[in-house]
């Protein structure tokens, strides 16, 4: 499972890209608004920092606008993936952009049937939003498991990108469910590396070594 960051904060991406574990980045209009800079500039900077797929979302809600925006976004860099919402116009735009060789991430997926439609429209990946389902007392992880199972049994090539991740347990469970990629906020990625026994073990190793070095100096 590839690990993606879900942010439009370039400083954060630079920090975590240095770990050498980043498979890609996803953004959305809310994250762009939070960054408060030109979305085009932000996408260009992210694509230069991270060689993997970088999702950039369209704002239009009708097909022709989405296609035009999608083509413009894809022209920024080779690793841009165009993100379209899971509405009829988004499916049509997904079909048109995919037919032109542009990778599409169909976002805001909340049901298996929506995921089937995304695959039928030729999506490169689909993004089920786990956390937002959990937020309304529905089981986001169960949806992810079902999409992975349906895609596998039906032989769809569309990848599954687990999105709307709220905590480290979501990441473990997404991996167990067979997600191809998972996208998370930087705060969650920072939590993945932490374990109290790792920190305590390192401190003990260093203290033991210092003691030996002082004794033999």
CA distance 88 to 85: 9
Please name the helix (run of DSSP H) or strand (run of DSSP E) that holds residue 136, with its range, or none: none
Distance in Å, CB of 38 to ligand E4P, minimum: 19
- The residue among 27 and 63 lying less far from ligand E4P, judged by its C-beta, is 27
Distance in Å, CB of 108 to ligand E4P, minimum: 8
Distance in Å, CB of 9 to ligand E4P, minimum: 13
Specify whether 34 is catalytic. no
**Positions that interact with ligand E4P (CB under 6 A):** 6, 26, 28, 107, 127, 129, 131-132, 163-164, 183
- The residue among 28 and 63 lying less far from ligand E4P, judged by its C-beta, is 28
- The residue among 169 and 208 lying less far from ligand E4P, judged by its C-beta, is 169
Task: Tell how many helices (H) and how many strands (E) occur in the chain.
Answer: 11, 8
Catalytic residue among 34, 83, 103, 204: 83
Beta strands 22-26 and 2-6 are: parallel
- The residue among 27 and 204 lying less far from ligand E4P, judged by its C-beta, is 27
Distance in Å, CB of 132 to ligand E4P, minimum: 5
Task: Judge residue 206's burial from the number of C-beta atoms within 10 Å of its C-beta, 0-12 exposed, 13-18 middle, 19 or more buried.
Answer: exposed
Nearest to 187 by CA among 108, 131, 110: 131
Contact 177/148 with Cβ under 8 angstroms?
A: yes
Catalytic residues: 83
């Amino acid at each position: 499972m590839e690990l993606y960051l879900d942010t439009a904060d370039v400083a954060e991406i630079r920090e975590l890209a240095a770990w050498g574990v980043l498979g890609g980045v996803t953004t959305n209009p809310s994250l762009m608004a939070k960054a408060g800079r030109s979305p085009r500039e932000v996408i260009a900077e992210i694509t230069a920092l991270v060689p993997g797929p970088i999702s950039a979302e369209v704002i239009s809600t009708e097909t022709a606008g989405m296609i035009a925006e999608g083509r413009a976004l894809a022209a920024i860099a080779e690793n841009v993936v165009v993100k379209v919402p899971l509405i009829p116009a988004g499916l049509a735009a997904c079909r048109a952009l995919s037919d032109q060789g542009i990778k599409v991430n169909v976002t805001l997926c909340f049901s298996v049937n929506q995921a089937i439609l995304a695959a039928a429209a030729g999506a490169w990946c689909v993004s089920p939003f786990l956390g937002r389902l959990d937020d309304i007392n529905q089981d986001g992880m169960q949806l992810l498991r079902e999409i992975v199972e349906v895609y596998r049994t039906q032989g769809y090539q569309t990848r599954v990108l687990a999105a709307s991740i709220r905590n480290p347990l979501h990441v473990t469970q997404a991996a167990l469910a067979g997600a191809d990629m998972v996208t998370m906020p930087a705060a969650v990625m920072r939590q993945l590396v932490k374990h109290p026994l790792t920190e305590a073990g390192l401190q003990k190793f260093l203290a033991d070594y210092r003691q030996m070095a002082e004794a033999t100096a």
